[in-house]
Amino acid sequence: MSRALHFFLLVWVILVGAFVCAANARTCGTMQAVQSWIQNKGKIISSATDRHSSCETEDYYDSVYSRTTSHFQIFYVLKGPHATTEKFVDSLSVNLEKAWDLHVTKNKMREPLGRDTTVHYLKPVKSGLYGVEVLEINLVRNPRVVHGSSGICEECFAVTNFGGRNNWQVSEMMIDNDFKVVDTDDPEYETLNIGEKKCTYWKSTKEITNTYGKYSYVEKWDKAIRVTVFHELYHAIQIRYLNPYEHLNFWFEASATGMEDIGAPEVNDYFRYIPDFLQRMGSPLDETAFPYGASLFFLYLHNRIDPLFDKSLWEAFGKNPEGSFRTQFSQVLEARKKNPQDVLQDFAERLSYSGHTSKMVDSNAWYSTDQPLWKDVPYDFALEGFRPDSTIFAYNFYQGGFPNLENYAGKASVLLFKDGHAHLRKVTSISSLDSLRTESFAADSLLWIFSRYENPAPLPGKPESKPLRAYPTPWRYGNLCFAPLPLDKKFIEVRNRRGDLIFREKYDGETLCLDEGFIKSKMVPGVYRYRAGSSGKTKDFMIIY
């Protein structure tokens, strides 16, 4: 099952013939593999350091056992560094069939094509079955072919290895035997005595953990098996539609990670990727550097649009492999009579109900039952009159302020928070901002939601010339604001009803907001008058507290 290092490692691996899935490593293995491919131009560089002794691959295991299910043949050993247990294989057998049932039987996706001989144990696979090997991932045969030039896969749950550039639809699943990995910062060596030979290897000592549940997969290996097989078998199916050697994109990992949560919803291993993905708001979804976290988009499409949406998407890739993700995405939505811009905005709105905000809306507004457990969405602090980002195929969140939407092309909504509840309001036109501004006076805070898909039309309406006003009035608490301020003036002045000057405040924009402490220090409850500059007609406003 792949993780944060895997996406970039994948770039290297698929070009040399393997689909590698790593778990939690962040940068080292990733860049090392990518740089290796660049430097070696996709060639595998053989090296004596592939092993730590003169022993052969076969010296590290003896008797190989086989377990056959309806669709799989599992190969494993019970002794040595590759050893597993019969209980492990029992669980693996059951969960592999569950993954097959979800992906192939229920969702009607293409069947994975298995190798006729396993990669590591070199055992023939029965005709019509898909081969699975249980082994110590970092003692795999030909590690530089499987893992890239480093010969090691940090924090790997499993590997879906497929057959070369000319045989890319054929694959095999390899799953780690104990969910412990090599601590590359402080590796330990182990030695096997095989006759007169001493076979040395790096020992796996570092336990892979579930960051959300804070438990070790070494102890709860059954959970690791469940989340792994749904993810890895999906990779074997994805390559039945699209050649990753030629057309790698972020959706390989986003959809496989999302599918693992559909198949094993109680594990929540994907939680580890959510914070990084959320921080990338404003970036095009299909250019994300965090494809595992983009599983949040997959889950939205699966749960709110259609459980078979992804099947249709991969079929579209199969028919048009040269097409971009956006091309396929639009095509699948339009076949369902849905507008891509509306869908992107709906995703952003429902994504905003993450973490604490989820408790402020009805659960029917969520798109995943996990949303209360996710991190709160990040946002940019906004000033009055801010102009929202309008990057194509992206969304943004802003807190506070009121936007200037003149010439804005995209969709806009706002969440109004009041007394522990969140109320969604859609911005249907520029003129609708006036009513939203009035409603916002009673709100505790605002969260603006914007998105843009390709080239939508600007919001209808034009900003009208508005007279200067104070708001909210009557004022009770919070900020007191004055807008729109004339650019040919330099300050706002406030006087009492007798005409005595209370204060003057300079401004340099279209809006001036004064905080509650300042207001209370200058004015007691009553009626006051204001204007921009020191001449002209004044207007009344009321202070109550």
In sequence order, the β-bridge partners of residue 449 are: 397, 413
Q: Could you tell me the residue ranges of all domains in the chain?
A: 6-245, 268-305+339-463, 469-543
Which residues, in sequence order, are CB contacts of 454 under 8 Å at separation 6+? 326, 340, 341, 392, 393
Please tell me the least confidently modeled range out of 29-43, 154-168, 370-384.
Answer: 29-43
Identify the residue with better confidence: 465 or 289.
289
> Residue 400: phi, psi to the nearest 5?
85, 180
Is the confidence at residue 160, as pLDDT, over 90?
Answer: no
CB-based contact 329:344 (threshold 8 Å): no
Question: Residue 188 carries which side chain, given as an amino acid letter?
Answer: E
Number of Cβ within 10 Å of residue 312's Cβ equals: 17
111-158 confidence digits (pLDDT tens): 999 999 999 999 999 999 999 999 998 899 987 777 766 677 777 888
The H-assigned helical ranges of 301-376 are 309-319, 325-335, 340-351
Instruction: With H, G, I as helix, E, B as strand and everything else as coil, classify residue 544.
Output: coil
> Residue 86: phi, psi to the nearest 5?
-65, -35
Is the confidence at residue 461, as pLDDT, over 70?
Answer: no
Identify the residue with better confidence: 353 or 290.
353
Q: What's the pLDDT at 246?
A: 82
**Angle CA 375–381–382, to nearest 5:** 140
Q: What's the pLDDT at 149?
A: 63
Token pair of 200 as six digits = 């040395």
Token pair of 191 as six digits = 């030695």
CATH code of 469-543, in short, is 2.60.40.3080
Q: What's the pLDDT at 377?
A: 97
| Whole-prediction pTM | 0.81
Q: What's the pLDDT at 350?
A: 98
Which residues, in sequence order, are CB contacts of 542 under 8 Å at separation 6+? 473, 474, 475, 526, 527, 528
Q: What's the pLDDT at 196?
A: 84
Q: What's the pLDDT at 464?
A: 55
